[in-house]
Every structure is written in C-alpha cells, then in structure tokens.
Structure 1
Amino acid sequence: MKHLLRLNKYLYKYKWYLLLGTLFTIISNIFVIIPAQLVRISIDFVVESFTYYQVFGDGQLAEMARSGFLKFVLVFGVLILIMALLRGFFLFLIRQTVIIMSRLIEYDLKNDIFEHYQKLPLSFYRKNSTGDLMARITEDVSKVRMYLGPALMYGINLLVLFPLVIGYMLTVNVELTIYSLLPLPILSISIYFVNNMINERSEKIQRSLSGLSTFVQEAFSGIRVLKAFVREDDSANDFTKASEDYKEKSISLTMVQSLFFPLIMALIGISTILTVYIGGIQVMEGRIGYGVIAEFILYVNMLTWPVTSLGWVTSIIQRAAASQARINEFLDEENPMISSHALNDHIAGNIEVRNVSFVYPDSGIKALENVSFTINSGESLAIIGTTGSGKSTIANLLLRMYDPTEGEIWIDGRNINEYDISSLRKQIGYVPQDVFLFSDTIESNIAFGLDEIEKDKIEKAAKDADVYQNIIEFQNGFETKLGERGVTLSGGQKQRVSIARAIAKEPSILLLDDCLSAVDTKTENAILNALKDIMTKRTSIIISHRVSSAKLADKIIVLDDGRLVEQGTHEVLMAQKGTYAELYEKQTSANELVDE
C-alpha cells in the first residue's frame, strides 16, 4: 500500500466527496436493514393473524379481521417499497460522490503525469519507449482509478454494512448468526483465488492483444514493402498464429470465469440451507418465529456481495498498487536541466563553445571531444561532417536538450545554464533532421511556434522556405489537413514546411540540422538562396553532411569522430586540401556523375 500513499493528496483535495460518499453509504445501509426487520414483523404478523382468523370462522368478525389484516400487510408493503426507493436514491448519491471523485482524481493524475513527462529531458525519452510512456498514463492510471472508485466504494460499504448487519443479527440470535455466516469466509477466500486467476489470464490476454495490435499496425504501415516483396501470405499466416494465441488465452479466461457465479451461488445456497435448517429447529422448539428465518436469509443475501467483493477489491488494490508503483517510477524522475538564474533576456546571437565534450548518458557513446568555436551575432556557421561525427549533438547542446559533460557554452556573454530554458528555446528556430509534422492543417504546423496565428507571417515563411507554391496548389491550400506525421506531403515538402515553421517565429538563432537531406541539389539551392536574406539578420547554423550547404556560411567547421579538425572559410579550407576539400571533391564528382 505504500505506493498508493502518493494518492492521499488527491483524496485530501476531494475530501468532501469522500466524506459525503461515506455518509450516504451509512444511510443507504440503514435502509437495507429496516426492510429485513419489516419482513420479519410482517411474516410473524401474517402467521399469527392466520391462526386468529381461523377462530373467527366465516362471520362478520372474520370480514373485519380480514380487512384489518390486508390493510396491515399493505402498509408494510408500502413501507418496504419506500425503503427500497430511498436506498436506491442514496446509492445514486454514493456513485455521484465516490465515483465522480475517482474520475476527477484520474483527470488530475493524467494531467500531472503528462505535465511531468514534458519537463523531463531528452535522455528520458531515449531510454523509455513511447508504448511504455503511453501505458503508464492510460492503462496504469485506469487501474488506479478502479482503486479510487469501485474498490473504495465497495470497501467503505463493506466496513459500514458488516458491523451494522452482523451486530444486529447477534442481538437477534447468536447461534443462527454463526451458522448462517459460516460459508462466507470460504466464499471470500475462493473468490480471491479465482480473481487472481482471472487477473493473471487477463494480463496475458492484454499482452497478446497488444502484440496482435502492434503486428497489425506494422503490417498496415509497411504495406508497400509487403506488397513489393510479395509477402502477403506470410503476413497472413503470422497473423493467424498470433490470433490463435489470443483465442486460446481468451478461452482459458472464459473457463475460469465460468467458475465465478456457480461458486457464489453454491456457497450462498449452503448458507441459506444452514439458515433454514437451524432456524427451522429453533422454530419447532419455540425459540424464534418464522419471520426470523426470512429476516436472516435476507441478511445473508445482503452480506453475500460485500463478502464476494472483498476478494475482488483486494485484487483491484494489488493491481492498483503495482500500477501506481510504475507511475511513481516516472514521477520520481528528476530533470537535471535546470536554470541557475532563469534569465528571460532577448538573445542577440553571440555564441561561444568552450572546450565542450559530451558523452550520451544512456549509451555511453562519446559524441564530442574538446570542441571550441565562436559565432558572432548575425554570422552564419556551417558544421560539416560525415554521419556520426557529432553534428546533431551540437544542435542538442545549443537547445539544452543535454548539458555538456565537460566544457561550457556561452550565449551573449552568459553561460547557457543561466537562461530560462523555455525563453532560450523560443528564441531558437530549430529544424530537426528527422522532420515531424502534426496531424493538423499546414497553416497550424507553420504557426506552431507562434502565440497566435498570423497569416502574413505564415505566408512569408512559406515563401522563404520555397514551399508556398506547393501549398497553394493543394485544393484547400494552407487549410490542407496533413496525415499522420505529415504523410500527405513528399519528403522534400515536409522538410520545407518544417523550415517555414522555424522561420515563422522570427528567431534570433536559426538552427538547421541537416534539414535539406531529402531535397535534390536544385531545390536545396533554391531554399538556401531564399534563406539568404533571413540568415543575414540572425545567427545561423547550418548542420549538414553536404558541403554544398556550406557555401552561404561565413565560417565553416569540420567535425570528424567528435573532434573539430578544420575551421575557416570555404576558400581557406579548400586551400588546405584537408578533410573538407576531400569531401567537396567526392561530392562534386558524385553530383557530376548523377547529372550525366
């Protein structure tokens, strides 16, 4: 239960729902006990009245007795009906308090988890899968809600009903109470074990269903490859095997579930038989009336569901505790990326990287070693290097997705750690290597970094990114809805929309992380020429493995295996005949061969 203690703050927040729910539970259970007593009194009255009725025979007195008898029975019937209606009303109020409380806590918990997720660093997302993150905010929270809702509601009902009913039963007849309740502990223990079996098999089914869903999603996502390699039959056979596994697990669960209600009915039947048998002996001995037997049978039925639910509630609490432990694991994750001074100053764009080294914390790979360079405000820098040379790592460090393992980064004469992270990132226009567009309109995607949609800025950004003409040719223009991850657009169009998104926010620093890899040389030149005016007004960093992307830059640095091996202008580096010149010659030759 220690993991569930984290939920106490939510229970305290909604304490009035819980207190009112408890009060309504007590009142509803009072209206459960009273009808049983009315049934006992009415049955005893009927039995005694019938005896006296026989004495009167068929005369006028018999008619009067009969009339009084029917009126008495009618009054008791109406009272029992009123008690049932009142109990139903308070059961409604219980659900309107306890269950609504659980939904409100579920809402708060999901929001708290999601908000915490967004505060965690990029390293957290590199070591945890998206599926696991989603499972904890959906399935695990749902299991916790079952504890806060149904389990809590039935638990309170059990704690209230048991003392009331058993206490009253003991005041009526101790011996009959003991015999009538004898099977109930066995029922509760049996239900506990059956529930555990159900839960265990349900979890296996969930895992099987998850695997089946993943298989189907992958098959549909990769349908082009499946068809190209003519693997449809193999895919169908694999799906049949996965479905067979799901079917067998489902049948196995159904077999266990089929034990549930017969077990309950059998033990209730035994309890009823014991009540009638022991009660019958006591009636014959003249110790109790007939009504007591009926009253006790009603009490046994009242206690059956709470006792049955005890095993079910215990199982829910166990699952909730396991789920909350998983949730707590992520909630306890701390973000090491903190701002020392929370500066919100405007950034001019002077950048100085001092002896920076970086090792990825999740993999231990050394991405950078003792890298130093400077960029003045308004200048452009090209970072050139082959795959794995550490180019994108510099982008991550400038955005403070990570902090350097060694060395420092300074912006406008202040350590980057002094800036408020949100303020810093708002002033950097970032175009990632792996383009991500949301399932929304093109306009909303370009305006993603703006506080409000400004059509003039959006259109200008689209023109600067050389994608405006493509957009207006669509039937709905800027209102065109993109599919998942922007599948409506070609690779080059997606990258240009991503560039437009970065430009639209008018950043102080423009950071292009190999964003032209999916466009041809002609389109690349068109985009770079369009960006020429934009780059003169702000600090620009172009990260690329293509040397052609570096021609607009004021300064070029060359990375190789995490080390800075060359820096200077295009002319200086070509004259040195080093790594840059070698890359330039190889790529130029390759382009000439392609053109031919």
Structure 2
Amino acid sequence: MRIFVELGWYFRQAWKRYVGAIVIFVFVATFELIPPKAIGWLVDGVMAGDITREHMLMALGAIVLLWFVVYALRIIWRVWLFGAAAGLGTVLRDKLYRHFTTHSPRFFERYRTGDLMARSTNDVKAVVMTAGEGVLTLADSVITGLAVLIVMTTTISWELTLLALAPMPVMAFMVNRFGTQLHHRFSASQAAFSDLSDETQSSLNGIRMIRAFGLESQQIARFNKVADDTGEKNMAVAKVDAMFDPVIFVTIGTSFFCSITGGGYMVANGTLTLGELTAFTLYQGLMIWPMLAVAWLFNIIERGAAAWKRIKEVLDETSELQDGEMPLPENPQTLAITLDQFTWRGHDIPALRDIAIELPAGKMLGIAGPVGSGKSTLLSLMLRFEDPVQGAVKYGGVSLKEFKIGEWRGKLAVVTQTPFLFSRSIAENIALGRPDATHEQIRAAAKLACIDDDILQFREGYETLVGEKGITLSGGQKQRISIARALLLDAEILVLDDALSAVDGRTEHHILKNLHDRAQHQTTVVIAHRLSALEAADEIIVLQKGHIEERGTHNALVAANGWYAEMQHYQQLEQALEASL
C-alpha cells in the first residue's frame, strides 16, 4: 500500500474528485444492502402466506428503481474517479518532460531514449491504473466488504458468517505470496520493454545505414532476440497473474459450500429461516467482487509500485544545472568566457585551458581549429549545457549561473552541424521558435537562407511534410531550413556551428552575404571548418588541443603563416581544383 502514500501529493491535489467519488460509493454500498434483505423478507412472507400480490409487486418495483439509482450513481463516481486518475497521467508526463529539459547532455548518456519513452508511457500507464482501478478496488473491497460483513453478522448469523470466512486466511497468504513474485517479474518486464523501445527507436533512426550496409538480416536477428526476451519476461508476469483467479474462485466456491451446508443445517434446526438463508447467500454474492478485488488490488498495486519506482528513479535525478534568480539585462551585453581549464567528467585531459574571449554586443566571433580542438566544448559552455568549475562564462559581467537557463537560451538561436527537423511541414519547422509567424515572414527567412527556390519546387511548397528527422530532404536543404528557422527567431545571439558544411561554395557566399547585410544588430558566433565562412568576423580564434593557438582578423591570421594560413591556402587550392574539373 506504500504506493498510495507516495502518490499522496496528487490525491491531495485532486481530493475533491476522490472524496466525492468515495462518498457517492458509500451511498451505493448502502443502497446495495437493501435488496438482499428485502428479498429475504419477501421469501419469508411467501412461505408464511401473509404477503399480498400488490405488496410484492410494490416491493419488486422499489428494488428495480433502487437498482437504476445505483446504476446512475456508479456511472457518476467512476467518471469522477477515473477522470482524476487520467489527470495524474497528464501531470506525470508533463513533469517528466519538464524534468528532461532541465538536464545536461550527461543525463541522456545514462538513460537511453527508448528507456525514457517507456517510463513516460508504459510506466505512467501502470501508475495511472493504480490511481484509478487501484482506488476503485480498494474502496470497493473495503467499503462493500465491511458493510456486507457487518449486516451478515448483526442481522442474520455471526456463526454462519465465521463459517463462510473460514477459507479467507488461505487466500490472503497465497495472494500476498503471488504479489511479491509479481512485483519482481513486472519490474523485469518493464525493463525489457525499455530495451525493446530503445532497440526499435535505434533501428528506425538508422534504417538508411542498415540498408546501405546490407545489415537487414543481422538487425532483424538482433531485434528478434530483444523481442523474444521481452516476450519471455511478459510471459513470466502472465504466469503469476494467472495464479490469482484460481485461488480466488476456489476460495469463493469453498466459502459458498460452507455457508450453504451450514445454513441448510441451521434451517433444518430452526435457528435460521429460509428467507434469512436466501438473504445471506445474496449478501455473500455481493462479497464475490470484494474478494476478487483483493487479488486484483494486489496485482495493480505491485504493478504500480514497480512502475512508480522506475519513474521516481528518473525524477529523483537532480539536474547538474541549477536556475539562478537574476533577470537578464534588457539591452545586449558583452559575452565573456574566462577559463583556467575545463575537463569533462570521467576524463583526465582538459578539453579547454587558458581561454579568454570577449564578444561585444553586435560583433561576430569566428572559431576555427582541427577536429577535437575543443570547439564543441566551448559551444556547450556558451549555451550552458555545462557549467565550468575553474572559470566562468559571463554576460554583462554576471555569471550565467545567476540567470534562469530558459531565459538565457531564449536569447540564442542555434544552428548545429547536425540539424534536426520535426516530422511536420517545412513551414512549421521554420516557424518552430515563432509559431505565430505569418507566411510572408517565414518565406522572408527562407529567402535569406537561400532555400526558398528549393521549397517552391516541391509540389506542396511550404506545406510539404519533411518526414522523420527531415528524411525526404538533402543535407544542404536541412541545414538551410535550420538557418531559416534561426533567422526567423531574430534572437540576440546567432550561433552557427559548422552550419554551412553541406552547402556549395556559391550558396554559402550568398547566405553569408545575407547574414552580414541583415545582422548588424545581432551578435554572431560562427564555428566553421570552411574558413571562407569566417572572413567577415571581427575576431577569429584558432583552437589547438583545447587552448587558443592564434587569434585576430582573417587577414591578420593569413599573414601570420600559422595553422589558419595553412588551411586557407589548402582550401583555396581545393576550390581551384574543383573549378577546373
């Protein structure tokens, strides 16, 4: 029952619905006690011959009317109860999603996407069932069960009641034993479902690569292995689940046998009337569901407890990134990065060291360097995906730790080197940051990103669905749509992380010219391997093994004859060679 205590925060939040449902159910349970007693009275009246036909018809009509009232009340209290339980599902999913968005990338290294999806769907469903079916069965078994037992004991025969309850201890022992087994097996089956979800998600995401390398048969075999393991664990749950009902039905049958045998003996001895025995068996019939509910309750509770444990495990993960309280300045400020060193957790070699950068508002910073030089790490710190320990990233002289993460990231528009598009229309993808943007504004941003002509060639134009992760588009088209999305946002700081790598030189030139003409008011950070993208930068830094090897303007770095000049010369030769072919 601990699961109900741990969900107490939601029961308190939705207490009106739960209390209202239980109060109505108390009336339902009370009304249901009347027909058996009335029928027993009618049986005794018929046997004694002192009841008229009119009285019998009136009594039967009243019983039928009462049943209709009970039927209506049951509908009302179930709507209230299950409505409240459905609300818990919404709250939990919203809570999980908000929780996921506060974590650093390191959190998603510990938890796979399929696992998080399983916890947000299958596990939440099991917890919702506990808050709905679980409360229903608990209330039904306790309220109805106690009410019927009290009436049977006080108004008919306590001896016969004890005789009918004789098989119950055996049932309680077996149900408790099966419940413990179910908890462990259900936990294992949910973990297996997480593995299956993750394997499915990975396979679908990598379907192009799987086909390109002819790995279909190997991937099918791997998927079947995971699916078979999930099926085996679910079968283990089903085996335990299947043991509940036989125990309950044998108990119910034994209980009825005891009551009919003992009741018949008492009728024969004259200590009990036939009408009272009839009423007793009808009341015992009302006890069938509470007895079934006990087993079902244990089943639901153990499933819910196992699922809640998995959800709580994720929710208890505290974010390494904590919100500050200071409001961000309204006017654009200087962004400054000062680091003695920064080392990723689990690594010994610093990813960055001796970094000092100042980016005044409205200026453009270029970042270059070979693979593994620390460019992505520097960007992570700038976007506050990580917090430095030995150093600080400051905006307007104040550490980013003092500001709210969401507000800070709202000042940035980022285009990564691996653009992500949602399975929606092109227009919706461009307007992601500004869903209220007009078609003219969306198209203006697309023209700046040199993607408007490509979009108009599609049959549906801007309403073309791009497929999962933009699978129907080329790499260059996806990059330019991502650039258009960032430009439409018109954020204070524009970050291009090798965002032009998949476009040709001429298109790159047009996009950079459009950015330069438009973004005089915008602070810009450009990370690029193709150095032509950095020519207009006010300052360029060249990273080598985590530290700044060179810095200056494009012309100054070319004249310095360092790594930058060498790469510039190499890329110019490459362009000349491509032009001659």
Determine if the alignment matches structure 1 residue 119 to structure 2 residue 102. Answer: yes
Shift of 1:221: 4.6
TM-score of the superposition, structure 2-length normalised?
Answer: 0.89
3-state SS in 2 of match to 1:448: coil
The share of aligned pairs that are identical, in percent, is: 32
Give SS of 1:138's match.
helix
Structure label with greater radius of gyration: 1
Cα distance in structure 1, aligned partners of 2:205 and 2:280: 63
* Matches of 2:223 and 2:357, distance apart in 1: 54
One-letter identity of the residue aligned with 2:326: H
Residues 18-27 or 245-254, more deviating: 245-254
Write the letter of the residue equivalent to 1:487: I
Give the letter aligned to residue 321 of structure 2.
P
| SS of aligned partner of 1:408 | strand
Q: Which residue, out of 519, 525, 534, partners 1:541? A: 525
Q: Which amino acid aligns with 2:96?
A: I
Q: CA shift at 1:438, angstroms?
A: 1.9
Match of 2:330 in 1: 345
- What does the per-residue CA deviation read over 1:129-175, in whole Å, with 9 as the maximum and x for residues that have no partner? 22233233322222221222111122122222233221222222121
Cα distance in structure 1, aligned partners of 2:426 and 2:211: 31
2:88 counterpart (105, 108, 127): 105
Amino acid at match of 2:90: Y
- In structure 2, do the counterparts of structure 1 residues 256 and 148 end up closer, same or farther at CA, with 3 Å as the change threshold? closer
Given that 1:512 and 1:542 are in contact with CA atoms closer than 8 Å, whether structure 2 keeps it comes out as: yes
Deviates more, 1:467-476 or 1:117-126: 117-126
2:78 counterpart residue number: 95
Give secondary structure in 2 for the equivalent of 1:366: coil
Q: Is the 8 A contact 1:344 1:419 kept in 2?
A: no
Pick which of 444-453 and 504-513 moved more. Answer: 444-453
Write the distance in 2 (CA, Å) between the matches of 1:13 and 1:455.
43
Q: Displacement, 1:110?
A: 2.6
CA distance in 2, matches of 1:87, 1:34: 11
User: 24-33 vs 192-201, which deviates more?
Assistant: 192-201
Partner of 1:355, secondary structure, is strand
**Secondary structure of the structure 2 residue equivalent to 1:449:** coil
| Equivalent position to 1:517, from 501, 523, 540 | 501
The answer as to 2:273 corresponding to 1:273 is: no
TM-score norm. by structure 1 comes to: 0.87
User: 5+ unaligned residues in a row in structure 2: which ranges?
Assistant: none
User: What's 2:120 paired with?
Assistant: 137
- After superposition, what is the alpha-carbon deviation per residue over 1:48-95, rounded to whole angstroms, capped at 9, x for unaligned? 33xxxxxxxxxxxxxxx8xx6544443343333233223222222220
The amino acid that maps onto 2:514 is A
Q: Give, as a single letter, the amino acid of the residue that structure 2 aligns with 1:85.
A: F
Shift of residue 126, structure 1, vs aligned partner: 4.1
Partner of 1:79: 62
> Paired residue for 2:25?
25
Give 1:560-579 correspondences, 5 Å limit. Answer: 560-579=544-563
Higher mean displacement: 458-467 or 556-565: 458-467
Whole-angstrom CA distance in 1 between matches of 2:319 and 2:223: 41
Q: Kindly indicate whether the alpha-carbon contact (under 8 Å) linking 1:510 and 1:541 is maintained by their aligned counterparts in 2.
A: yes
| Residues 1:534 and 1:122: Cα distance change in structure 2 (over 3 Å) | farther
Note the alpha carbon deviations across 1:566-586, whole angstroms, 9 max, x for none. 111233323333222333344
Distance (Å, rounded) in 2 between the aligned partners of 1:259 and 1:417: 56
> Is the deviation greater in 333-342 or in 96-105?
333-342
- Looking at structure 1, the residues matched to 307 and 229 of structure 2 have their Cα atoms a distance apart, in angstroms, of 25
**Partner SS state of residue 386, structure 2:** coil
Give 1:557 shift.
0.7
Contact residue 366 and residue 537 of structure 2 kept, 8 A: yes
Count of aligned pairs: 578
One-letter code of the match for 1:305?
A: W
The 1-side partners of 2:558 and 2:13 are apart by: 68
Amino acid at match of 1:275: S
The reply on whether 1:40 has 2:40 as its aligned counterpart is yes
Equivalent position to 1:485, from 469, 476, 480: 469
Q: Relative to structure 1, is the Cα distance of residues 123 and 241 closer, same or farther in structure 2, using a 3 angstrom cutoff?
A: closer
**Counterpart code for 1:44:** D
Structure 1: 5+ residue runs without aligned partners? 50-64
Matching residue within 406, 410, 413 for 1:429 = 413
- Cα pair distance change 1:492/1:175, threshold 3 Å: same
Amino acid at match of 1:582: E
Cα shift at 1:340: 4.3
Could you tell me which amino acid in structure 2 is paired with residue 34 of structure 1? I
Find the aligned partners of 1:574 and 1:225 in 2 and give their Cα distance: 40
Q: Match of 1:293?
A: 277
- Residues 137 and 4 of structure 1: CA distance in aligned 2, closer, same or farther (over 3 Å): farther
Give distance in 2, aligned partners of 1:244 and 1:495. Answer: 40
CA distance in 2: counterparts of 1:469 and 1:524, whole angstroms: 15
Q: Cα 1:225–1:442, aligned 2, differ >3 Å: closer, same or farther?
A: closer
- SS of structure 1 residue aligned to 2:536: coil
CA pair 119-388 structure 1, distance change in 2 beyond 3 A: same
